[in-house]
Homo-oligomer: A and B are copies of this chain.
Amino acid sequence: MIVDFSIAPIGRGESLSAHIADAYRIIEASGLSHEFHAMGTNLEGEWEEVMSVVNACRLRLLETCGRVSISLRIDDRKGPHGRLDRKVASARGKAGL
């Protein structure tokens, strides 16, 4: 499955990038296919793999923050892996872009 994952502390000031950096390190170290984008990170893997990474990021932020907000959007489709790389290319091709 592919998961669009976004995490942020609440009540820790307007600049969030230091907290996001903590999540980036955990995601990079996870070995899962991923794509950082301006509003979140797309992760590809099995349910347990992806949720383990999300939970590790959550626990890391809760070490220093009293309240954390997380958004997950999951696209779970039976069949081959490697969709993370192909989804944009497929729609781009059909759009003639």
Copies of this chain, count = 4
Note all chain B residues with C-beta closer than 8 A to A97: 24-25, 28
Given contacts A58-B76, A68-B76, A72-B70, contact A11 B11 (CB under 8 A): yes
Hey, which bits of chain A sit against chain B, CB under 8 A? 2-4, 6, 8, 10-18, 20-22, 24-25, 28, 35-40, 42, 47, 51, 55, 58, 62, 66-79, 83-85, 87-88, 90-97
B68 near A71: Cβ-Cβ < 8 Å: no
* Docked complex Cα distance between A34 and B45 (Å): 26
- For the complex formed, measure the closest distance between the CB of A15 and the CB atoms of chain B, giving whole angstroms: 8
* Docked complex Cα distance between A1 and B27 (Å): 22
* Docked complex Cα distance between A14 and B18 (Å): 18
